[in-house]
Chain A
Amino acid sequence: IAGITQAPTSQILAAGRRMTLRCTQDMRHNAMYWYRQDLGLGLRLIHYSNTAGTTGKGEVPDGYSVSRANTDDFPLTLASAVPSQTSVYFCAAGAGANVLTFGAGSRLTVL
């Protein structure tokens, strides 16, 4: 089934640790995105990538980095996690003005 796979589904992490959330698509879409969802704040864009080899900052990029070595993978890294990064993270992919397809989400708790 075509779509987006995120891993891990859920993770508890000690503050200060490094963490990478993985995102893989099998739709060959050029554009990929990372959003975080927090209660009362909706979904906010962290980083995006128009195509392999390019990335850009979204609304809330601080503390996060991304890479896009190929079309299918778009990992999100927290270099040194802080409690304020406790959230649900959604990866998405899209082509042109088409509807974005979202992954199932990764729930991250930073203690």
Chain B
Amino acid sequence: AQKVTQVQTEISVVEKEDVTLDCVYETRDTTYYLFWYKQPPSGELVFLIRRNSFDEQNEISGRYSWNFQKSTSSFNFTITASQVVDSAVYFCALSEAPYGGGSNYKLTFGKGTLLTVNP
């Protein structure tokens, strides 16, 4: 069965600091997808990134970057020069390809990391 562990439950930083949220996953599949979602205080779930298991290239999007390492089953998320607006709960999630085809890509979520960025 698939499992996602978010190492930090809560992180508190001061604005402009860099911060890394760690995610470790378990799966028996060779084909899978990894995600990060952001949940700001307003409560909606905001998609940030999806990576498939065959693409280990790191990705950068503005102040956000992701480090995917299959050797350690990790998919870590770094925010550079954090801002108060980055304060949110961040979820890492894993989806395995459905057996026998079909469209059921069920997401398994980690328990979330609450990031607080203080001014």
* Residue in B9, B103, B107, B112 whose CB lies within 8 Å of A45: B107
Give the contact stretch, choosing among B39-47, B54-62, B64-72, B74-82.
B39-47
How far does the alpha carbon of A45 sit from the alpha carbon of B96 in the complex, in Å? Answer: 14
* Residue in A45, A102, A105 whose CB lies within 8 Å of B106: A45
Residues of B contacting A92 in the complex (Cβ-Cβ under 8 angstroms):
107
Known A42-B91, A48-B106, A50-B102; judge A97-B33 contact (CB<8 A): yes
Q: Which residue of A lies closest to B102 (CB)?
A: A50
A43-B109 in contact (CB<8A): yes
Count B-side interface residues using an 8 Å CB cutoff.
24
A90-B45 in contact (CB<8A): yes
CB distance from A104 to the nearest CB of B (A): 6
| Cβ < 8 Å to B, chain A residues 1-53 | 29-31, 33, 35, 40-45, 48, 50-51
Chain B interface mostly: loop
B63 within 8 A of A: no
B109-A42 in contact (CB<8A): yes
How far does the alpha carbon of A31 sit from the alpha carbon of B106 in the complex, in Å? Answer: 9
* Residue in A90, A96, A102 whose CB lies within 8 Å of B103: A96
Known A31-B105, A56-B104, A105-B43; judge A97-B111 contact (CB<8 A): no
How far does the alpha carbon of A40 sit from the alpha carbon of B111 in the complex, in Å? Answer: 6
A41-B111 in contact (CB<8A): yes
Known A42-B91, A43-B91; judge A100-B107 contact (CB<8 A): yes
CB distance from B54 to the nearest CB of A (A): 12
Residues of A contacting B104 in the complex (Cβ-Cβ under 8 angstroms):
31, 48, 50, 56
Known A42-B110, A43-B91; judge A94-B105 contact (CB<8 A): yes
A94-B103 in contact (CB<8A): yes
* Residue in B9, B91, B103, B108 whose CB lies within 8 Å of A95: B103
B103-A88 in contact (CB<8A): no
B95 within 8 A of A: yes
What does the 1/0 interface line of B25-59 toward A look like (CB < 8 Å)?
Answer: 00000000101000000011101001010000000
Query: What 10 pairs across the A-B complex have the smallest Cβ distances?
Result: A42-B111, A43-B109, A102-B45, A30-B103, A42-B109, A31-B103, A50-B104, A99-B47, A42-B112, A50-B102
